[in-house]
């Protein structure tokens, strides 16, 4: 069985990258990471990849005057490596429409909120400001508008009294590390399709108390 080839795009810490590295380690997992790409030379995630024996490439956005050229270079690197699926994992640059179009239905992202609520940055500050009772994370296909696109898996955590944004982010991160590998596995098993309303539908999905993968269909 040939494995789904993943390219993971990072800008920093890389804890979700690590979760994917760990998930891909058992021989039976249906995906493998073939390339880790960073726009920041010092990203800690690069060390994690090297440690795991995964090829890395730094494409420093500061060396590019226009976004299109930067994005084209990233696409060339990932296509050259034979990428089937791009996993954004804390990649902190906006992507051009051309890039998103090129990788349509072949690029996923993880975001630390229950989308479509709380898109963008400083999510947990805003969750606490608004007094939301539940928070969580979402793995979704990428569309042109930031933090939109078909939802593949979500997990929920409670917001507790006296939570700081960091407390909440840490509680959510634990769940991120569960649902990102789960979403990759579902895609690699060929179980995810997109319906006419641009929703992701998972064949044979069973939701658990830990994560919800198929509210429609």
Active site residues: 111
Which is nearer to ligand GRF, 185 or 189 (by Cβ)? 185
Neighbours of 18 (CB within 10 A): 18
Closest to 175 (Cα-Cα) out of 123, 116, 110, 124: 110
Which of residues 145 and 196 has its CB atom nearest to ligand GRF in the complex? 145
15 within 8 A of 40, measured Cβ to Cβ: no
- Residues whose CB falls within 8 Å of the CB of residue 210, separated by 6 or more in sequence, listed in order: 155, 175, 178
In angstroms, the Cα distances linking 106 to 58, 169, 172, 209 are: 21, 27, 25, 28
Which DSSP category does 82 fall into?
T
Q: Assign 74 to helix, strand or coil.
A: helix
Q: Which stretch in 12-20, 23-31, 75-83, 154-162 sits in contact with ligand GRF by CB under 6 A? A: 12-20
Number of residues near ligand GRF (by CB under 6 A): 12
Cβ nearer to ligand GRF, comparing 93 with 199: 93
Instruction: Say if CB 45 and CB 13 are below 8 A apart.
Output: yes
Q: Please state the φ and ψ torsions of residue 179, each to the nearest 5 degrees.
A: -85, -20
* Residue (31 or 172) nearer to ligand GRF, CB: 172
- Local structure of 202: helix, strand or coil: strand
Binding residue for ligand GRF, selected from 12, 149, 150, 181, defined by CB under 6 A: 12
CB closer to ligand GRF, 112 vs 181: 112
Contact flags string 15-44 toward ligand GRF, x per CB under 6 A: xx----------------------------
Q: Going residue by residue from 167 to 196, which x/- string records binding to ligand GRF, judged by CB under 6 A?
A: ------x--x--------------------
Which 82-101 positions form the footprint of ligand GRF (CB under 6 A)? 89-90
Residue 35 phi, psi dihedral angles, 5° rounding? -160, 140
- Residue from 112, 136, 150, 181 touching ligand GRF (CB under 6 A): that is 112
Pick the piece of the chain touching ligand GRF (CB under 6 A) from 8-16, 30-38, 50-58, 197-205.
Answer: 8-16
What x-and-dash track marks residues 122-161 binding ligand GRF by CB under 6 A? ----------------------------------------
Taking each helix axis from N to C end, the angle separating 165-188 and 123-130, rounded to the nearest 10 degrees, works out to 120
- Residue numbers of the site for ligand GRF (CB under 6 A)? 12-16, 89-90, 110-112, 173, 176
């Amino acid at each position: 069985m040939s494995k789904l080839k993943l390219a993971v795009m990072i800008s920093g810490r890389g804890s979700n990258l690590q979760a994917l590295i760990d998930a891909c380690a058992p021989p039976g997992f249906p995906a493998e990471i073939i390339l880790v790409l960073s726009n920041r030379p010092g990203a800690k995630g690069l060390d994690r990849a090297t440690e795991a024996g995964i090829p890395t490439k730094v494409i420093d956005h500061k060396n590019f005057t226009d976004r299109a050229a930067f994005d084209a270079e990233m696409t060339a690197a990932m296509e050259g490596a034979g990428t089937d699926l791009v996993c954004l994992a804390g990649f902190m640059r906006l992507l051009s429409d051309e890039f998103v179009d090129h990788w349509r239905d072949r690029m996923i992202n993880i975001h630390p909120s229950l989308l479509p609520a709380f898109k963008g940055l400083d999510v947990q500050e805003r969750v606490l400001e608004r007094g939301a009772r539940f928070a969580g994370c979402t793995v979704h296909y990428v569309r042109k508008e930031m933090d939109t696109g078909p939802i593949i898996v979500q997990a929920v955590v409670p917001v507790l009294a006296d939570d700081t944004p960091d407390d909440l982010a840490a509680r959510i991160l634990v769940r991120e590390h569960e649902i990102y590998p789960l979403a990759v596995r579902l895609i690699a098993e060929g179980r995810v399709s997109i319906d006419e309303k641009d929703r992701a539908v998972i064949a044979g999905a069973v939701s658990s108390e830990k994560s919800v993968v198929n509210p429609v269909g």
